[in-house]
Structure 1
């Protein structure tokens, strides 16, 4: 027999959606926020010759800067006010979470601080975001100012104004993402990256067909790319919905003349606990050194750097062995790291023990925590291999076939995963609305009975 939650979920339809006014407000807020974000991606920084900058950008568009341009919705190639996007915020989150695992005061805040500790760490993340955004925007401003023909009036005023505008754009997007998370639907930062990818994705698809039409790419390669994209999408949906369900039993207890308990439930452990965070974190960490080396290699190099820096920059292009090794290693690392952050086997085992639950054949407490860690580690190995394969298989195809545009598995992974997460949250809001309706009806019936 279906449970009450399953019956409510089965009854969710357009009529139920039409009555969920709170969900309508959240969806409208999210859509308006996305429109504001996209408008900011088309407002260029003052004092830049856009045509000259676009021509200079094409020289580095094939590298990791091209991936960053896709994540930012094309804001980088326009050098818009949102060119830095939320990458400084993501980098700051990485650093704070790493320090939260190895720095004792922050580790205590994360484990024992509760809601107040989480808010304090979030505040540290915001402060660090400002520092990283200032550093990155200053590097960009100096590089633009020293590039001939790109800036109309290079100098200190241009550098200062560019730093203020780019840093302000990142802080606004960070605030906008937090507002979407609290007042909209879905994770705000993920939706901002999602919107940027979706906005430029049609252009890359059209570019692929144009390359095939003009003979720049073989029709068989295009067919292979389409098949691979469909296969990757199916694999992502399958893996993101896959989970290991551990049976949890609750012992019977007698209260007076009645017996309570004896129920069973399941503890679901996802194969991919970390979601889309590993490739985003890996891209963010690879971006800064690749960009710095790219700009350095385009200028006048000292004698000691001429022999190795251009080659290193070339190895950080899509499809190159060094890029794939670094990208894959960072993805695997962040899969394990972020899983350890979001799921603590000891806390889960302690909570099970408090409520009288136990895993059949496993002693409560330390043994349960060890078993959960054992299962989770093996699931994370599978999840890390899946994410690395999704992100690196298209890279290998790009390197093998010599495709001149970037349409990687990372983008597909983010689009599919964020879409599934957002749809799940919409269903949760609808389910909560259904429950509220049932509670109101039961109260009305109880009032009439009296």
Structure 2
């Protein structure tokens, strides 16, 4: 990874992209320290120290939520809007048509996603202001509430624009990199707290060593999951065109075990935030009671988390991978899988294989997320979001390195990531 970044820095074009991305990170971190006017953030700190999804939102936002900055809601409204748009693409023919029209169609879908982001951000900001933030408001006039709502909505819209700028002018993966930056920015604070606990004797050094070994093992597991693939052998028949013979070579189709990457974890986490967001609007005892029973870390919540991760893994894989198109392309160019007839039998075979490895990948993904929650009862330390945060960090880092390497290869540079 360091070798790839070092060599990418030597290429003027990539150096410009990396510099632009770092500049956007600085803007993101500076904005995370600009407070929302009219809010006393000190009264809300306890909400982000417990085992709630507000804590996860705070991690994703890089601490902006606990400080009540203009980026307090982070990029979650954009993620929720993306989920809704992808679901609508499946059920609305017009959206499905746009998704198949290439760059122009994707531009239209992106525009609707932006509209949806602003609407969801406004609704979430309204719920937070009248629910979560009400006790900390300096004034309780309509104008004061609207200032907070508009500020939070504008902050999310700006982050969405910032992510798109990183995608267009930076090294790509803009939204994912903003989430990555938010999580990484919390690491120094976490290490400092860990050191303080050890120095004060509240935490045994052996527990810290055990935790480090577990984290290293989880990272290795994430890398293996992200890089794992099933190679399907493909043979191309020989054919004569004029005086030349073409085809006859053997190759393979690499089917990734985790085709969806980190998307299922991000989507599942976003969906599980809905109950707490609804409670902000309702503020009724029975709503609060239900939210506490299915709150983050409870058994029902963990089970639902696993189910959602498996669902979104299959859902996103189905969007990305089309066995019918792949089978038709193979047949068109004279390719076939040994022992499998071209056409529909090939599509059915690819679909069966993809279903099996997707099941294994989704269960492994869910296991990595749930592991820290299970360890919570054994190790007296709040590692509730460790699995989720690590999957996002490692997954985004791997995808970004691959993008950088592919851009280096396009410029006739040999890649430095050894497989």
TM-score, normalised to structure 1, is: 0.86
> What are the equivalent positions in structure 2 for 1:228-247 lying under 5 Å apart?
228-247=214-233
Are 1:81 and 2:70 an aligned pair? yes
Deviation of residue 218 (structure 1)? 4.2
CA deviations 1:5-55 (Å, max 9, x no partner) are xxxxxx9895x646521111111111111111111111110011122232x
Which SS does the other structure have where 1:113 is aligned? coil
CA deviations 1:358-388 (Å, max 9, x no partner) are 2222222211111111111111011101110
**CA distance in 1: counterparts of 2:252 and 2:148, whole angstroms:** 53
> What are the equivalent positions in structure 2 for 1:261-410 lying under 5 Å apart?
261-293=247-279, 301=284, 305=286, 309-310=288-289, 312-313=291-292, 315-318=294-297, 320-404=298-382, 406-410=384-388
Mean Cα deviation higher: 151-160 or 87-96: 151-160
Q: 1:50 aligns with which of 2, 16, 41?
A: 41
Deviation of residue 75 (structure 1)? 0.5
Alpha-carbon contact 2:131-2:280 (below 8 Å) kept = no
Deviation of residue 268 (structure 1)? 0.9
**CA distance in 1: counterparts of 2:362 and 2:389, whole angstroms:** 17
**CA distance in 2: counterparts of 1:202 and 1:19, whole angstroms:** 29
Are 1:102 and 2:91 an aligned pair? yes
Alpha-carbon contact 1:65-1:291 (below 8 Å) kept = no
Deviation of residue 181 (structure 1)? 1.3
Deviation of residue 232 (structure 1)? 0.2
TM-score, normalised to structure 2, is: 0.92
Q: 2:13 aligns with which of 15, 22, 26?
A: 22
* CA 1:404–1:264: 2 relative to 1, 3 Å: closer
* CA 1:211–1:12: 2 relative to 1, 3 Å: closer
* CA 1:412–1:18: 2 relative to 1, 3 Å: closer
Which SS does the other structure have where 2:185 is aligned? helix
* Structure of higher CA gyration radius: 1
Deviation of residue 350 (structure 1)? 1.9
> What are the equivalent positions in structure 2 for 1:8-157 lying under 5 Å apart?
17=8, 19-54=10-45, 56-58=46-48, 61-110=50-99, 112-144=100-132, 146-147=134-135, 150-157=136-143
* CA 1:311–1:225: 2 relative to 1, 3 Å: farther
Alpha-carbon contact 1:145-1:159 (below 8 Å) kept = no
How many aligned positions are there? 412
Alpha-carbon contact 1:186-1:421 (below 8 Å) kept = no
CA RMSD of aligned residues (A): 2.3
* CA 1:159–1:21: 2 relative to 1, 3 Å: same
Task: Point out where structure 2 has 5 or more consecutive residues left out of the alignment.
Answer: 415-419
* CA 1:45–1:394: 2 relative to 1, 3 Å: same
Which residue of structure 2 lines up, in the alignment, with residue 4 of structure 1? none
**CA distance in 2: counterparts of 1:274 and 1:427, whole angstroms:** 20
